[in-house]
Every structure is written in C-alpha cells, then in structure tokens.
Amino acid sequence: MEKENINLIFGRNPVKEALRANRVTKVFIANNFSDKEINLLLQEKKPYIKVISNNELDSKCHGVHQGIMAEIKHYEYLDLDEIIRRSRKVEVPIVVILDGINDTHNLGAILRSCDVFNVTGVIIPKHNQVPLNATVAKSSAGAINFVPVAQVSSLNQTIQKLKDNGFWVVSTDGSAKVDYNQLKYDFPVALVIGSEGKGVSSLIIKNSDYVVKIPQYGHVNSLNASVAAGILLARIRN
C-alpha cells in the first residue's frame, strides 16, 4: 500500500466521520466547542485533544472549521486485486475509473456519490490526477473514509485486468451515439469518468465496451465531472 503525509482536516462532518472510522490521532477544538455527538465520539475514541482559541483555529485552517480540526492517519490506497476480490461478493458490482480528475472538490464529490450508490471501489492513476488529501476529505463529507481507492500506474492495463475479471467498461463522451439510458447495466460495470477539460482519453475510449453520453439541453454544453458521475451512478444502480 502507498501512503501520503499526515493530513489535517477540519469541519464537524469530516472530523466526525474520521472519528467513526478510527482515523483520528489528534483533535484541536475551540474552547467554546459544543457538539454533543462529536463530544461523545471523542469520549469513546479517546484521541489526544488540545483546546485552543478560535483565532488559533482560524490561523491553521483555510476554510470554515466550525470549531474543530483533526490530525488523521495516512491515507491508504487499496490494491486493485483487493477491489476485484470485493467485487466478487456483490451481485452487480460497480467500480469507477477516474481519468485525470485534477480538481479536489470534484474528486471529493465523486467519492460522496460513490458511497451513496455503494460503489465497490474507485481507481485513479498515479500521475495527472489529484490524490487523496484533506481538501478531498472535506469535499467528500466523510465518504473518503468508506470508499476504497486504488492508485495504479496504467489505466489501460487496469481496464484489461478488469475485463479479464468479468467487467464491462463504460466510458462517457459527449460525442457518443448511445444515450446513457439505453443500456441495462445488468453486468459488472467499470465506469470511466474523464477529466474536467479533456474528458476520457482516446485510447481508453477505444478500449471501452460501451461509450455513452448524457443528453444536454441547455446553453452550456458541459457537465461537471462529479455531476456526470452522480447521474450515471444513479442510472446504473437503479
């Protein structure tokens, strides 16, 4: 497994979910902090707690901290083989492959949707892709603690391995001829979501079993990557 440096997260919901997942090592709270649910979790989990002023929290956080900040354990990536193994336990498994998502808020929002729709795992490339970090954690509203993520050297090799293990690869592209609603999704799905600017790479498109589009009717012919992921996952799961 590969690890990142220790991260600081802030805000009540991200800290609460990290406490539940046993990932918190140290907590910084404002001297007037009063959240009953989090205080009970702090009593149960017993991390090191330091009470500081709101001004000190303001200086440490570049965002809304809501009176609490936490130091958490390293983010860990699962092996691809482990995600495949877990997929075998699910009747219709879904894995999500991210092809170069470089916006931390998009990645966090995608993880949030993946948790909602019970995705078995998310696969990201080691290069040209934002990694798991504190901003992603906050944007995911805690989902980062529950959605397995694998980091791989080659997405195309990964796609071939998924195919060898029974997955059908579905990529998204605005120029596709097939509407995303036309597929039944009654097979193990490897859903590919492309980068915010370039979309899914041409080689991955070529190696996909299906390429689908989300019809758009407005003035701006572009969907945010996380919004597109949510729409597609809702359709696949239902």
167-201 pLDDT tens trace = 999 999 888 899 999 999 999 999 999 987 788 99
Domains of the chain: total: 2
Q: Please give the Cα distance from 5 to 126 (Å, whole number).
A: 16
Q: Please give the Cα distance from 100 to 104 (Å, whole number).
A: 11
| Domain with 66 in it | 7-72
Q: Using the 3D structure, point to which of 31, 55, 72 is the last residue of a domain.
A: 72
Residues 103 and 203 both lie in one domain: yes
What would you measure as the largest C-alpha separation in the chain, in angstroms? Answer: 58
Q: Using the 3D structure, point to which of 50, 72, 94 is the last residue of a domain.
A: 72
Q: Please give the Cα distance from 116 to 30 (Å, whole number).
A: 31
Residues 154 and 184 both lie in one domain: yes
Mean pLDDT of 51-64: 85
Q: Please give the Cα distance from 162 to 14 (Å, whole number).
A: 32
pLDDT tier at 221, thresholds 50, 70, 90: low
Residues 200 and 216 both lie in one domain: yes
pLDDT at residue number 1: 39
pTM across the whole model: 0.83
Mean pLDDT of 135-159: 91
pLDDT at residue number 38: 93
Q: Using the 3D structure, point to which of 56, 72, 88 is the last residue of a domain.
A: 72
Mean pLDDT of 25-33: 91
Residues 40 and 85 both lie in one domain: no
